[in-house]
């Protein structure tokens, strides 16, 4: 664990990231709210504690790899990257603009620090598998490949092709993370296409599965440490998150999957997030 930040510091960073997600999406006038807000704690934990990386040297040879398979959730990645120092925070306001490095779905070659291009769902695990096999050929054993996937994304058949391949080659340097937020584009996952029992599914494909509350930063950091201790299987962390987390009128509501807040909703959301920040600060002094 990186001891630079306390859990309380990390919770405040996650809250700032949520504020920036709201601002960016309102400014863009389009984009996805629920998934990115729900993933803010996980991306904070990754960029500020878990990942071995260097924002000033994004191509550092020894860095860990973070792949985003559910590319529509990229606002949370941009907000975390800006906060970590990959680029100035003011650039966040170029989200989804013509010519911007911050496209609505991530384009690897536009922005140093992105490791994959995504948007078409179901590709991230195959990308991870390719990288893991390449690392094996190069005898590289000190780098981890983290891949964040959606739950609705797992309706894509090629996810399961990659799942089998990772099992066949025992790609144990892959740590996959499912954002189990129970929503997808036009409904709750269990009504669009039932996924349960998701843990059993991954286990029956030969994976080691860990379940965790993905909105609990400390628990998530611990889950990743447990995952890194598994050496004989690829690892899936099923992270239970609340879609829209932190913004009351967005929480648990799939209609916020692909919709930005308008100006009035932005003000309301930011007010709520500032109140939450105050609570986190006061907890630090209890």
Ligand X SMILES: Cc1ncc(C[n+]2csc(CCOP(=O)(O)OP(=O)(O)O)c2C)c(N)n1
Question: Do residues 243 and 181 lie in contact, with contact meaning Cβ atoms separated by under 8 Å?
Answer: yes
Measured in whole angstroms, the distance separating CA 234 from the mean position of its chain's CA atoms is 18
Q: Could you tell me which stretch among 10-18, 116-124, 163-171, 221-229 binds ligand X (CB under 6 A)?
A: 116-124
* SS3 labels along 208-228: EEEEEECCCHHHHHHHHHHHH
CA–CA gap between residue 46 and residue 274 (Å, rounded): 23
Give the H or E element holding residue 65: strand 65-68
104's contact among ligand X, Mg ion, none, with CB below 5 to 8 A by partner kind, is none
Burial of 163 (0-12, 13-18, 19+ CB in 10 A): buried
Q: Is 53 in the site for ligand X (CB under 6 A)?
A: no
Q: How far is the CB of 184 from Mg ion (least distance, A)?
A: 5
Q: Could you tell me which stretch among 43-51, 80-88, 119-127, 207-215 binds ligand X (CB under 6 A)?
A: 119-127
Beta carbon nearer to ligand X, 11 or 179 = 179
Q: How far is the CB of 27 from ligand X (least distance, A)?
A: 20
Q: How far is the CB of 151 from ligand X (least distance, A)?
A: 5
Residue 29 backbone dihedrals phi, psi, to 5 degrees:
80, 5
CA–CA gap between residue 123 and residue 282 (Å, rounded): 42
Residues 172-231 that bind ligand X (CB under 6 A): 179, 181, 183-185
Q: Is 150 in the site for ligand X (CB under 6 A)?
A: yes
Residue from 31, 75, 113, 152 in contact with ligand X (CB under 6 A): 152
Interface residue list for Mg ion (CB under 5 A):
150-152, 181, 183-184
Q: How far is the CB of 125 from Mg ion (least distance, A)?
A: 16
Q: Tell me whether the omega of the peptide bond preceding residue 197 falls within 30 degrees of 0, making it cis.
A: yes
Beta carbon nearer to Mg ion, 33 or 94 = 33
CA–CA gap between residue 219 and residue 55 (Å, rounded): 25
Q: Is 250 in the site for ligand X (CB under 6 A)?
A: no
Q: Tell me which residues touch ligand X (CB under 6 A).
A: 32, 34-35, 70, 72-73, 119-122, 150-153, 156, 179, 181, 183-185, 243, 257
């Amino acid at each position: 664990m990186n001891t630079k930040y306390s859990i309380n510091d990390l919770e405040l960073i996650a809250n700032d990231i949520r504020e920036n997600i709201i601002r960016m999406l309102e400014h863009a006038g389009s984009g996805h709210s629920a998934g990115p807000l729900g993933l803010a704690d996980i991306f904070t934990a990754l960029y500020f504690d878990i990942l071995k990386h260097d924002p000033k040297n994004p191509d550092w040879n020894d860095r860990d790899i973070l792949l985003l398979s559910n590319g529509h959730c990229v606002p949370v990645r941009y907000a975390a990257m800006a906060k970590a120092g990959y680029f100035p925070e003011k650039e966040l306001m170029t989200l989804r603009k013509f010519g911007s490095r911050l496209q609505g779905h991530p384009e690897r070659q536009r922005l140093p620090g992105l490791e994959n291009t995504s948007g078409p769902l179901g590709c991230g695990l195959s990308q991870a598998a390719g990288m893991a096999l390449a690392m094996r050929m190069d005898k590289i054993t000190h780098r981890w490949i983290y891949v964040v996937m959606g739950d609705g994304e797992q309706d894509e058949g090629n996810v399961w092709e990659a799942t089998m391949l990772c099992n066949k080659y025992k790609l144990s340097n892959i740590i996959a993370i499912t954002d189990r937020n129970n929503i997808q584009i036009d409904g709750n996952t269990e009504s669009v296409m039932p996924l349960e029992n998701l843990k059993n599914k991954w286990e029956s494909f030969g994976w080691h599965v860990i379940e965790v509350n993905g909105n609990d930063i400390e628990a998530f950091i611990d889950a990743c440490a447990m995952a890194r201790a598994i050496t004989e299987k690829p690892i899936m962390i099923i992270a239970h998150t609340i879609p829209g987390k932190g913004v009351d009128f967005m929480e648990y509501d799939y209609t916020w999957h692909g919709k930005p807040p308008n100006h009035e909703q932005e003000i309301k959301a930011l007010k709520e997030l500032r109140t939450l920040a105050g609570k986190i600060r006061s907890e630090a002094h209890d």
